[in-house]
Structure 1
């Protein structure tokens, strides 16, 4: 049935109320869900605005520790020689691309260094296969008067003698004091405030060849003490200001003959300026901050509470230096992390070793705890309160009264779990020591050779225990401690000679 002309014209003049809805061609639009549409748009915007990039070459001055091939992500053991096949021949274009990929994956480490004398040569291990015995220069500092005749007391006397030998002498301390005054005078017109000595030279844990750490006081007015909510001390504005000040110090030191060609600015997490003093060979490090770090005062308090801390630190540091496991440059344990391992041990064993001549027993218990009893690859060490933590222990402590130190431990465990998920095995197995003054900070971050660290502790414990069991009495040349150290001190003696009698720059 057809409509008449009048009705047809009237219908053509009516507005079209019904329109056909075409299916959307945009994957980010969900016709039946506003929530899904918004989430899809947010994800799309984030993907367009934020893109993670990986530089092909390391940044200048950035230190990357050597990682063994078996610890790298995606490592697969090679097949036996009998099963290895001859690789097929490839064209020149594919060979060039393969070499390019190889260079991109394993960039060569930077060879630039400020070292005029490598610190690793201070205390060196003796090759067991060579048949050479370790040196025992600390025996000349041994006082046998009043020492009982048992092995534990003799080991106690040796630990004290080793500390007296490695501690700075009066001449070396005078030279360090003179160098500090020279640095302050040199930077008087460059820095707004006089540099402050911090680190081991301030706490009293320094050995004769230890570095000199200087704090450059930097006044941050927005972080005044009368503010209720202070801004972050690591915000970009202050970091740029610290970098500017360190650049000025770097320029001043480069112009000084004693530091020329021996200054380097480095640091990924925290800016630091390293300068090698050529006449004495000592390494100086400069940092920026508002005041002396709280960690320094914290450590000084525990040195007063636990007098054995200083002597045990000297012995364990010498042990680790001989094994090339001390310092971030060796991918080993840092001085602060080692000190906190000892503090945690002493706090967990408070009152266990009463009476005199117990340093040997404490050293053996320390080596057994961190060498055999716990797995430092999977658990973290807490100092305040003392103990160990991992994911399982933290789940048990997940109560309503969540404290700051528990939140920090969860953060540190989550960082290791994330590294494992990304295939970064060295970071997931690194040493974890919670900073008692900043619960989110990991003092053991630099130590990625945790299995080797525990192996050194376990071997030293076994050797010392065997030496104590077979000890036959004190003689003029007898030593129990040398069974574990097995080190030579020629490099250290040369360094100490250079400190007392500086070379002309």
Structure 2
């Protein structure tokens, strides 16, 4: 079919066409509309109304569908001119394209925020077949849109990039919070890694570099001025050393067990005793360690010593480990307790059996959260007496011990099984520093400074420390070991300790080296150097809210939840005890009332009353004297 005649050329004007011209034309089947739009948009020039109108007619021939390029562009004279491109697209193509509403769209890096009603989605099925005409119902399929009354349900998904934030400032703040939280979580495992490095070097008889061990930090932060041992601004008109001494005293009062905590601890002690007696009635359970010595924290472990009454305390025997057959017999008893009580009883969890010089059971009480230890150890009465002697001799020793022990604990340096120092060793380290380097102030503040400086500068490779007598000795010439161990060292069957290990002679046992298990001594010395430098600087400035903050500050939030749980348990125990006592008192009162009612004299009858009244004149007559 020849192309239609070209109309006379007109000046080019902006192309437009009224919307009603397109919307009024109907009758095209879907394949004609699709072909019309494809041809229209493939054309390098815009379609003119003269080319559109024939195609909109239902009787338009097929040959007219491929639109011809026209150099002459007609102008639509309608008052509401509209671009034909947009008009054709909106009328024919747009309604038949698959669309996705916000109800099914996924936005990157977003959380699910909306819980509104879910809207359904029905998409028209547009078939691309060989020209077969679709049914009228298929042609009229549309997308069901959400109702105007309810907002569409938005599903915002979470991706690997995290939570979506609209502003850059919020993103920066969120990153800083995540980084801080990550550092706090890493601080909880940091000391373990450092101690593992020290143990590995010790096993290979190698040196290792001591580093500053940072304290474990709770994920919940608190201002330093809000610490319970921090002084008020009105009380800070003293010198820095006086403030430090006052803070040590306040920290000591804070760390000691409170009334409810003491009730809970005593209940756990009695509970363990009862359970052990049920399984092994021949054995006695004695409390020893910090609980017996009076230096226990609110959340300190409770140590029990399992022994028989026949085991008489003998200092000569207590220095040596028991014989092999005796060790096997005691271990059998301990295994029986472990499997019948601590591993199966509902009151305990995290129960383990550790094989050491003195085997022990460790477990945690479910209700209080306190850790308990059952040890097959020898008598420790000599050590207890020695600690009491030094606490009586040095008045500020006890409260200073609480500070120093906390310095070790919050840095993971007080676990003997991981290369740290135990409570008794820390206590004697403190006594040794006071004996060897007394401060002129003779108080806790001066002793704390001298303690950090003494072990910072002490040469552990050459000298050992003796408390009684107060002296330093050559540890290679005079090793602190038992006689059997010395024989093994002399004949080469046992390796000596690395030269960097601390040698501290136990005043209660001259053959006991209190530093032989402190593998982390290099980390301890590096940490003491850092803390001493910071404390001296804070004392010079005297502007810090708490001078003890860098030393023991994180302990408050680390122990907040455990102490809260312990206090709640002690409060419940006291209420239960009060209810029990009230019930007993009521039962006693009821029993007394019943006894009184049983022995109450009976009321006299009418006959007895009449006989008594009739006898009264006779009695009076008998009482009248004779004239």
Give the TM interval when normalised to the shorter protein.
Answer: 0.5 to 0.7
Q: How does 1:325-364 map to 2 (within 5 A)?
A: 325-349=413-437, 352-353=439-440, 358-364=443-449
Deviation at 1:417, TM superposition (A): 8.3
Alignment check: 8 A CA contact 2:437 2:450 kept: no
TM-score norm. by structure 1 comes to 0.63
Deviation at 1:324, TM superposition (A): 2.2
Specify whether residues 143 and 362 from structure 1 end up closer, same or farther in structure 2 by C-alpha distance, changes over 3 A only: farther
Specify whether residues 70 and 304 from structure 1 end up closer, same or farther in structure 2 by C-alpha distance, changes over 3 A only: closer
- 1:500 has 2:560 as partner: no
Specify whether residues 168 and 137 from structure 1 end up closer, same or farther in structure 2 by C-alpha distance, changes over 3 A only: farther
> How far apart in 1 are the matches of 2:317 and 2:539?
57
> How far apart in 2 are the matches of 1:482 and 1:76?
32
Give the structure 2 partner of residue 430 of structure 1.
501
* Aligned pair partner of 2:511 in 434, 437, 440: 440
Deviation at 1:410, TM superposition (A): 9.2
- 1:384 has 2:468 as partner: yes
Aligned pair count reads 369
- Which of 1 and 2 has greater Rg? 2
Secondary structure at the counterpart of residue 285 of structure 1: strand
Gaps of 5+ in 2: 1-194, 573-627
Secondary structure at the counterpart of residue 124 of structure 1: coil
Greater RCO (CA < 8 Å, at least 6 residues apart)? 1
Deviation at 1:70, TM superposition (A): 6.1
Q: How does 1:87-486 map to 2 (within 5 A)?
A: 124-125=216-217, 135=224, 138-140=227-229, 142=231, 149-191=238-280, 192-220=282-310, 234-250=322-338, 251-260=340-349, 262-289=350-377, 291-349=379-437, 352-353=439-440, 358-372=443-457, 374-391=458-475, 394=477, 408=480, 427-472=498-543, 478-485=545-552
The CA deviation string for residues 271-311 of structure 1, in whole angstroms up to 9 with x for no partner, is 11212212222111112356443212211221111121111
* Aligned pair partner of 1:73 in 185, 204, 213: 204
> How far apart in 2 are the matches of 1:415 and 1:67?
31
The CA deviation string for residues 5-27 of structure 1, in whole angstroms up to 9 with x for no partner, is xxxxxxxxxxxxxxxxxxxxxxx
Q: What RMSD in Å do the two structures reach over aligned CA positions?
A: 4.0
> How far apart in 2 are the matches of 1:75 and 1:230?
33
My pick for the range that moved more, 488-497 or 186-195, is 186-195
Alignment check: 8 A CA contact 2:287 2:304 kept: yes
Alignment check: 8 A CA contact 2:231 2:546 kept: no
TM-score norm. by structure 2 comes to 0.52
Alignment check: 8 A CA contact 2:318 2:379 kept: no
Alignment check: 8 A CA contact 2:462 2:475 kept: no
> How far apart in 2 are the matches of 1:486 and 1:329?
25
The CA deviation string for residues 219-239 of structure 1, in whole angstroms up to 9 with x for no partner, is 446x687x9999966111221
Alignment check: 8 A CA contact 2:416 2:518 kept: yes
> How far apart in 1 are the matches of 2:252 and 2:427?
15
The CA deviation string for residues 453-473 of structure 1, in whole angstroms up to 9 with x for no partner, is 01111111111111111115x
> How far apart in 1 are the matches of 2:231 and 2:493?
52
> How far apart in 1 are the matches of 2:414 and 2:515?
11
